[in-house]
C-alpha cells in the first residue's frame, strides 16, 4: 500500500480511537469539573461496560443487533448504578476531601478489577458486532461498524452537551459546580446531584466501552489504557473543561493512530505521558484552558 | 532523667526482631526478612507522605531506581553487591531530586497525577529499553554477585541479619529525623505551608529535601530487595508498588516512625492469610484502602497516639 492510503487508514483508525476516547474522557472531565473528584477507578468503569456487554451478548437470545442494543441500554445503567452506590457509600462520607477520595478510588479500582477477574475470568472474550458490512475504498476495505462508532460517539457527546446547557438538570449541575453551598441554600439536593454526576461519568465510560468492544475484545485488565489516555486528554484540555476535553481527545486520538502505525506504541506512550506531566507542571490550566482550575 | 520511652520502644522492637531470628519458624523467618526490606521503602514513603504531607502516587519510580541502580550496576558494570547497594540508594535519591524539582511546582491533586505519570513513564521506559533492562523477564542476579564481602545474601540467616541491620539503621535515622527540629519543619509544611513560609522557611527547599531523603530510603529498599531476593524486574516498578507503601503507611499510621513497619507486617500477613482462603487478594488490598480512609484515616499508631500515647514519635 502507498503512503497516502496508509496515512488515510491510520487517520481513520485514529478517529475511532478519538471518538471512544472523547466519550470516556468526557465522563472523567464531568466528574472532575462538577465534583472536583479525580476518579482513578474511571478505567474500571470502562472495563465493566465491556465485560457486561459480553455477558449480555451471551445471555440475550436472538440476532446480534438485538443483543447489542440491549447491551447499549443496560450496561451503562448497571455501571452507573454501581458508581452511584460507590459515591453514596464511600465518597460522600469522605466529604470529597481530595486525598482520601483519590485513595478510596484506588481501592475501588482494585475491588472492581478483582470482581471482573473472579466472575469473568482472565481471558479476553470477543463480542460480536451488530452488523458487518464493509465499505470498499479503492485501496482497502473498511469495517462500516467503525464509522458507526464514530457517529454514535458524536451523537452521544452532543446529547451530553445539550443536557448540560439546555435542560433543568444541566442547570442544576452547573449551579452545583459553581457554588455547592449556595446551590444547597436554593433547595438543590447536592448529594443527589453528586451521585447522579458520578453515575453519569461512569455511564459515559461504559457506553464508550460497549461501542468499542466488538472491535477490541473484553478483558479484565482493559481499563488501564483508557484511564491513562483519559487523564492525558483531560489534563491537556484543561481539567474540568468539556470543550477542551473534546479538542484534546481528537488531537490525542488522531496522533495516537498515526504514531502507533508508524512508530513503536510504547515509545509513543512514554512521550505522551511525559508531555502531560510537563503540561501539568508548567501549564496547569491545560493547553486550551484560560483560567486556573 | 526520665527514661526515653520512645527510644526504648524502638530498641525493643529491634530486639524482638533479633530474637525472632533465633526463634521464628523458617517460613515466618523468610517473611520477616522481606517485610523489613519493604518497611525501609515504606518508611521512605512515610517521610514524604506522613510527615511532609506529599501524597505521591509514583514512588515505584524511586523504588525502581534503587532496584535497577543495583541490578544494572551488578550486571553491566560488574559491581559487587556492597557498592551495588550504595549505587541503588543514590539512584533513588537522584531520581527523587529530578522528579521533585519538577513535580513540587504543583500541589495537591496535580502533584499526585504528575508523580503517577512520571512513574508510568519510568515503568514504560524499563519495558522499552529492554536491551539493557531486560524488560519484562527481568534481571536474575547470580548467587556469586549477591555477596557483600564474606556475607552471602542468598543464605537465609545472613539475609535476615543484613535486612535487620539495614532496617535498624533506617528506623533509628527516621526516629532521629522525626525528633529533630528539621522533622518538625517537615510537619509544619504538612500542617500549614503558608504559615511556615511566613515564619521564614522555604517550603520548596524543605519539601525537596524531604523527597530526596524519601528517595534515598526507597532506593535503599529497592536495591536491598533486588540483591537479597536475586530478581530485578519491571513488575516491581509498576503502579502496584506505588500503592503498596501508601497502604502500609495508612494502615500502620501516617507520620509515625513505627507505622510503616507495623502496616507492612500486618498487610503482608493479611494478604498471606487471605490468599490461603481465596485467590482474590486484590480485593483485600482494595477493601483495605477503602475501609482505612473511611474508618481509620489515622491508622493504628496514629489512633493510639491520639488516644493514649501522645509521646509516640
Q: What are phi and psi of A267, to 5 degrees?
A: -60, -40
What is the residue whose three cell numbers read 534481571? B139
Rounded to an integer, what distance in angstroms lies between the CA atom of residue B32 and that of residue A188?
Answer: 54
Q: Does B8 touch chain A (CB under 8 A)?
A: no
Domain extent listing, chain B: 5-238
Q: Express each pLDDT in A121-174 by its tens digit.
A: 888 888 888 887 888 877 777 888 888 899 999 999 999 999 988 999 989 998
pLDDT score for A286: 67
> Do residues B153 and A275 touch, judged by C-beta distance below 8 A?
no
pLDDT score for B1: 46
Say how many CA atoms lie within 13 Å of A107 toward its Cβ.
23
Q: How confident is the model at residue B212 (pLDDT cuts 50, 70, 90)?
A: very high
When divided into structural domains, chain A yields a total of 1
pLDDT at residue B284 tops 90: no
Please give the average per-residue pLDDT across B269-278, as a whole number: 82
Say how many CA atoms lie within 13 Å of B75 toward its Cβ.
20
Kindly give, in sequence order, each residue whose CB lies less than 8 Å from that of residue B165, ignoring residues fewer than 6 positions away: none
Please give the average per-residue pLDDT across B67-85, as a whole number: 86
Q: Which helix (H) or strand (E) holds A6?
A: helix A3-35
List chain B residues with CB under 8 Å of A266. Answer: 124, 127-128
pLDDT at residue A293 tops 70: no
Give SS3 for A288.
coil
Question: Which of A24-38, A76-90, A236-250, B119-133 is predicted least confidently?
Answer: A236-250
Quick check: A111 and B288 CB within 8 A?
A: no
Q: Report the b/e string of A24-42 with b at 16+ CB within 10 A.
A: bbbbbbbbbbbbbbbbbbb
Please give the average per-residue pLDDT across B145-149, as a whole number: 75
Name A143's bridge partners. Answer: A134
Under DSSP, the state recorded for A218 is B
List chain A residues with CB under 8 Å of B103. Answer: 277, 281
pLDDT above 70 covers a percentage of chain B that reads: 99
Q: Does A102 touch chain B (CB under 8 A)?
A: yes
Q: Does A106 touch chain B (CB under 8 A)?
A: yes
pLDDT at residue A263 tops 90: no
CA of A14 vs chain B CAs: smallest distance (Å): 22
ipTM: 0.82
Quick check: B293 and A113 CB within 8 A?
A: no
Q: How confident is the model at residue A25 (pLDDT cuts 50, 70, 90)?
A: very high
Quick check: B124 and A269 CB within 8 A?
A: yes
CA of A3 vs chain B CAs: smallest distance (Å): 27
Rounded to an integer, what distance in angstroms lies between the CA atom of residue A216 and that of residue B305?
Answer: 52
Question: Which of A141-145, B69-73, B195-199 is predicted least confidently?
Answer: A141-145
Q: Does B125 touch chain A (CB under 8 A)?
A: yes
Quick check: A113 and B282 CB within 8 A?
A: yes
Torsion, Cα A236 B237 B66 B14, to 10 degrees, reads 120
Residue A16 lies in a domain: no
Please give the average per-residue pLDDT across A110-118, as a whole number: 92
Q: Does B114 touch chain A (CB under 8 A)?
A: yes
Q: HEC string of B127-173?
A: HHCHHHHCCCCCEECCHHHCEECCEECCCHHHHHHHHHHHHHHHHHH
Please give the average per-residue pLDDT across B186-206, as a whole number: 88
Q: Does A149 touch chain B (CB under 8 A)?
A: no
pLDDT at residue A240 tops 70: no
Give SS3 for A287.
coil
The counts of H helices and E strands in chain A are 11, 2
- Domain of residue A152: give its range: 23-221
> Do residues B51 and B255 touch, judged by C-beta distance below 8 A?
yes
Give SS3 for B232.
strand
Q: Does B304 touch chain A (CB under 8 A)?
A: no
Please give the average per-residue pLDDT across B193-207, as a whole number: 89
Amino acid at each position: 500500500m502507498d503512503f497516502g492510503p496508509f496515512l488515510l487508514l491510520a487517520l481513520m483508525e485514529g478517529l475511532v480511537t478519538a471518538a471512544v476516547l472523547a466519550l470516556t474522557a468526557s465522563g472523567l472531565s464531568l466528574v472532575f469539573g462538577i465534583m472536583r473528584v479525580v476518579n482513578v477507578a474511571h478505567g474500571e468503569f470502562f472495563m465493566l461496560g465491556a465485560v457486561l456487554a459480553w455477558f449480555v451478548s451471551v445471555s440475550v437470545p436472538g440476532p446480534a443487533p438485538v443483543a447489542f442494543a440491549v447491551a447499549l441500554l443496560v450496561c451503562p445503567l448497571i455501571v452507573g448504578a454501581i458508581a452511584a452506590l460507590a459515591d453514596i457509600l464511600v465518597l460522600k462520607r469522605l466529604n470529597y476531601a481530595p486525598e482520601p477520595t483519590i485513595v478510596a478510588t484506588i481501592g475501588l479500582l482494585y475491588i472492581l478489577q478483582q470482581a471482573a477477574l473472579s466472575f469473568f475470568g482472565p481471558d479476553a472474550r470477543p463480542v460480536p458486532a451488530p452488523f458487518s458490512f464493509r465499505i470498499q475504498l479503492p485501496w482497502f476495505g473498511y469495517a462500516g461498524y467503525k464509522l458507526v462508532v464514530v457517529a454514535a460517539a458524536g451523537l452521544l457527546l452532543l446529547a451530553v452537551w445539550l443536557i448540560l446547557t439546555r435542560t433543568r438538570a444541566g442547570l442544576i449541575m452547573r449551579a452545583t459546580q459553581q457554588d455547592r453551598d449556595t446551590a444547597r441554600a436554593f433547595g438543590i439536593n447536592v448529594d443527589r446531584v453528586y451521585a447522579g454526576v458520578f453515575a453519569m461519568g461512569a455511564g459515559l465510560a461504559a457506553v464508550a466501552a460497549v461501542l468499542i468492544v466488538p472491535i477490541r475484545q473484553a478483558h479484565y485488565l482493559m481499563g488501564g489504557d483508557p484511564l491513562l489516555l483519559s487523564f492525558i486528554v483531560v489534563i491537556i484540555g484543561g481539567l474540568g473543561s468539556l470543550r477542551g476535553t473534546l479538542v484534546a481527545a481528537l488531537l490525542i486520538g488522531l496522533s495516537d493512530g498515526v504514531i502507533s502505525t508508524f512508530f513503536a506504541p510504547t515509545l509513543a506512550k512514554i512521550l505522551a505521558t511525559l508531555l502531560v506531566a510537563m503540561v501539568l507542571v508548567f501549564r496547569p490550566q491545560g493547553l486550551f484552558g484560560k483560567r486556573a482550575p | 532523667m526520665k527514661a526515653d520511652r520512645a527510644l526504648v520502644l524502638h530498641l525493643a522492637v529491634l530486639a524482638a526482631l533479633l530474637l525472632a531470628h533465633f526463634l521464628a519458624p523458617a517460613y515466618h523467618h523468610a517473611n520477616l526478612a522481606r517485610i523489613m526490606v519493604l518497611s525501609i521503602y515504606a518508611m521512605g514513603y512515610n517521610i514524604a507522605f506522613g510527615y511532609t504531607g506529599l501524597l505521591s502516587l509514583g514512588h515505584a519510580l524511586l523504588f525502581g531506581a534503587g532496584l535497577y541502580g543495583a541490578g544494572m550496576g551488578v550486571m553491566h558494570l560488574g559491581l559487587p553487591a556492597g557498592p551495588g547497594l550504595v549505587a541503588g540508594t543514590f539512584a533513588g535519591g537522584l531520581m527523587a531530586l529530578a522528579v521533585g524539582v519538577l513535580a513540587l511546582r504543583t500541589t495537591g491533586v496535580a502533584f499526585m497525577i504528575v508523580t503517577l505519570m512520571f512513574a508510568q513513564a519510568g515503568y514504560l521506559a524499563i519495558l522499552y529499553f529492554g536491551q539493557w533492562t531486560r524488560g519484562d523477564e527481568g534481571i536474575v542476579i547470580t548467587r556469586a554477585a549477591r555477596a557483600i564481602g564474606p556475607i552471602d545474601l542468598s543464605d537465609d540467616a545472613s539475609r535476615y541479619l543484613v535486612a535487620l541491620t539495614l532496617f535498624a539503621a533506617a528506623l533509628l535515622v527516621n526516629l532521629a529525623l522525626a525528633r529533630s527540629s528539621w522533622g518538625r519543619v517537615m510537619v509544619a509544611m504538612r500542617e500549614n505551608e503558608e504559615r511556615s513560609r511566613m515564619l521564614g522557611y522555604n517550603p520548596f527547599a524543605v519539601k525537596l529535601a524531604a523527597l530526596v531523603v524519601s528517595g534515598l530510603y526507597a532506593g535503599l529498599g529497592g536495591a536491598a530487595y533486588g540483591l537479597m531476593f536475586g530478581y530485578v524486574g519491571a513488575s516491581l516498578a509498576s503502579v502496584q508498588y506505588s500503592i503498596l507503601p501508601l497502604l502500609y503507611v495508612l494502615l500502620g499510621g501516617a507520620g509515625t516512625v513505627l507505622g510503616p513497619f507495623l502496616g507492612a507486617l500486618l498487610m503482608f500477613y493479611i494478604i498471606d492469610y487471605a490468599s490461603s482462603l481465596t485467590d482474590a487478594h486484590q480485593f483485600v488490598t482494595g477493601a483495605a484502602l477503602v475501609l482505612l480512609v473511611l474508618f481509620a484515616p489515622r491508622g493504628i499508631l496514629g489512633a493510639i497516639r491520639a488516644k493514649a500515647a501522645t509521646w509516640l514519635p
